Amino acid sequence: MVYDGTKWGLNDSLWVPGFPLPTVDTMLRAVTYDTVMSDFDIGDCFLNFVLQETLQSLCRVDLTKYFGEGDILWERWVQAAMGLKSSPYQAVQAIMVAKEIALGDRKDPKNSFRWDEVKLNLLGSSTYDPSLPWVFKIRWSDGKIAADLFIYVDNGRVTASNKLECKRATRQAASRLNGLGIQEAARKRRWGSQNPGAWAGPLVKTTEDSVSVFVSQEKWDKTKLQVKQIVEELSGSTLGSLKHKPLERKRGFLIYVTRTYPTMRAPQFGEYAVRG
């Protein structure tokens, strides 16, 4: 079945607040040179969440032509739908609540995500260590950075200090999400690795002595091509002659790239170099 919430006309009557999403910098709070990472995916993301009653009454599908048998037949759409303006906000809001349940009690010794203290490793302090994140959670039992969970819409990433701990933490997070009725697509899991692939755009790789953040060669080639196209379009033309929609799509893609390489952005007041 194919459906498109943008065609209903309902979006014109809906208002949805803005909301933040995590970036690769968010995840780097739990990453150091020996960190292992795994990924999981929330299947059919929007369909895991039920629409409010007031919206359900407005999201109806006319099936009279196919199953009416002489009578008028309407069915209500009851799940968050693709193309419906409220769906991203509703899904992300619910997943953030579910994340707290997946993380569990931080003081429980059996909890894979247990932690005891938030450490500050700030520039200018006498104990500053450039090999560690600026803010991170540790366990007193072994002094390691605690396992953690980060979710970008429907893509979850688990970080831990070794593969076994990463596997247990991933299983805990996925199981608790499933228990809440949020389906985790187990077939899409990527198990613990120091080079797991992309998450929220960039790739993060850890080795024995470094943490690297970069984009794939394919995305880098696309970046150069898009910048070249913009320069060519500007040559001998006025700014107003640029086509808005293609430029908007290019901007959306380039935002991912500049998050990975912040020095590509025009420097802002108070901005300084991130951990290398």
Q: Once rounded to an integer, what is the mean pLDDT over residues 43-57? A: 91
pTM score, whole prediction: 0.85
Helices 87-103 and 163-179 pack at an angle, to 10 degrees, of: 120
Collapse the DSSP code of 190 into the 3-class scheme (helix H, G, I; strand E, B; otherwise coil) and give the result: strand
Lowest model confidence (mean pLDDT) among 30-34, 69-73, 102-106? 69-73
pLDDT band with cut points at 50, 70 and 90 for residue 57: confident
Instruction: Report the CATH fold assignment for 5-214.
Output: Alpha-Beta Plaits (3.30.70)
State the span(s) of the chain assigned CATH 3.30.70.270: 5-214
pLDDT above 70: residue 199? yes
pLDDT above 80: residue 75? yes
Lowest model confidence (mean pLDDT) among 101-115, 139-153, 231-245? 231-245
pLDDT above 50: residue 161? yes
Total residue length of the chain:
276
22 and 152 Cβ atoms separated by less than 8 Å: yes
**Residue tagged 């065609």 (tokens):** 7
d(CA 227, CA 234): 11
Question: In terms of Cα–Cα distance, which of 132, 264, 141 is closest to 202?
Answer: 264
Most confident of 112-126, 234-248, 252-266: 112-126
d(CA 46, CA 59): 15
Distance separating the N- and C-terminal Cα atoms of the chain:
48
How does DSSP assign 82-134, residue by residue?
TT-TTHHHHHHHHHHHHHHHHH--TT-TT-TT---EEEE--TTSTT--TTS-S
- Residue 52 structure tokens: 């409010």
d(CA 113, CA 7): 43
Q: Once rounded to an integer, what is the mean pLDDT over residues 124-151? A: 93
What is the per-residue pLDDT for 115?
Answer: 97
Give the bridge partners for 79, in sequence order.
Answer: 50
Q: Once rounded to an integer, what is the mean pLDDT over residues 220-248? A: 82
Looking at residue 49, its amino acid is F
Q: pLDDT averaged over the chain?
A: 88
Percent of the residues in the chain that have a pLDDT greater than 90, as a whole number: 59
DSSP one-letter code for 267: P
pLDDT above 90: residue 273? no
d(CA 8, CA 124): 55
Per DSSP, helices labelled H in 104-214 are: 163-179
What is the per-residue pLDDT for 268?
Answer: 56
Helices 217-234 and 244-260 pack at an angle, to 10 degrees, of: 140
